[in-house]
Amino acid sequence: MIQCMDLSKSYSKKCVIDKSNFEIESNKISFLMGANGTGKTTFIKCLMKMENYKGKITFDCKNINQVREKCLVIWDDCPFYTNLSGITNLMLFGENKKSKKQIIEIATKRLEYALLKNNVKTYSYGQKKKLALALVEILQPKYLFMDEISNGLDFDMMKELKDDIKRWAETMTIFLTGHQFSFYNELVDSLFAFKDEQIVLLEENFSSCGETLEEIYDKRMH
């Protein structure tokens, strides 16, 4: 479980997150809803201590420095070494969790081997996303954060990814943000949202609330 206690984040005089208290349950898929610019990506950066903040964040009663190696963030713009090959990137980021043979077996389920031998600078936006998804299988993190993960993926890949996320949630605590609600509707367990600069739990059991993310956004977020 991830606990956020009196979490606040400001840039100069602009308040982004204001004294928020909530819990992200273990082995569940949680989703954070909010308009562009509300602070969804900033919140993930706070979780990773990439931004300074006020308040306290714990991961099963531990701080980020004690669990950092168990965390993985898949950003909207995946920060790979563009002058290195896809395989080399996976080996570097893979932290020796898998052998080269195992890494290739995992990666070729998403990208062709010929492409994996090319430098990442030749990859499309969607291909870099697929490379990042291979890292999830390689690292098997305990805490997985995914920012706008469906962007750049085709229909077949999004369908596969839904199945992957559901499977990963059996052993991982997953936290998602995004705007493509149709992709997330059948995935979400717990729904969070930005309301007046606070992050609040809207639905603890989203699947039984009888509304779609689109409907909730239209009714409750305006």
Q: What percentage of residues in the chain have a pLDDT greater than 70?
A: 100
Token pair for residue 20?
Answer: 């928020």
Q: What is the C-alpha separation between 62 and 43, in angstroms, rounded? A: 18
- The band of 36, judged by pLDDT with boundaries at 50, 70 and 90, is confident
Tokens of 86: 């896809």
Asked whether the predicted pLDDT for residue 221 surpasses 80, the reply is no
Over the chain, what is the mean pLDDT? 93
- Residue 172 phi, psi dihedral angles, 5° rounding: -125, 150
User: Which residues form the domain of 27?
Assistant: 2-220
Task: Give the 3-state secondary structure of residue 145.
Answer: strand
Q: How many domains does the chain have?
A: 1
Phi-psi region of 219 (alpha: psi -120 to 50; beta: other; left: phi over 0): alpha
The pTM of this model reads 0.93
Chain segment 159-183, per-residue pLDDT in tens: 999 999 999 999 999 999 998 999 9
Mean pLDDT for 113-127 is 95
Instruction: Let me know: does 221 contact 179? Beta carbons within 8 Å.
Output: no
pLDDT at 150: 87
Q: Over 90: is that where the pLDDT of 153 sits? A: no
The whole-number pLDDT of residue 78 equals 83
| Statement: residue 9 has pLDDT above 70 | yes
**Model confidence over 41-100: pLDDT tens digits?**
999 999 999 999 999 999 999 999 999 999 999 998 888 999 999 999 999 999 889 999
31 pairs with which residues across the strands? Answer: 176, 191
CATH number at residue 134: 3.40.50.300
Question: pLDDT value at position 152?
Answer: 81
pLDDT confidence tier of residue 222, bands split at 50, 70 and 90: low
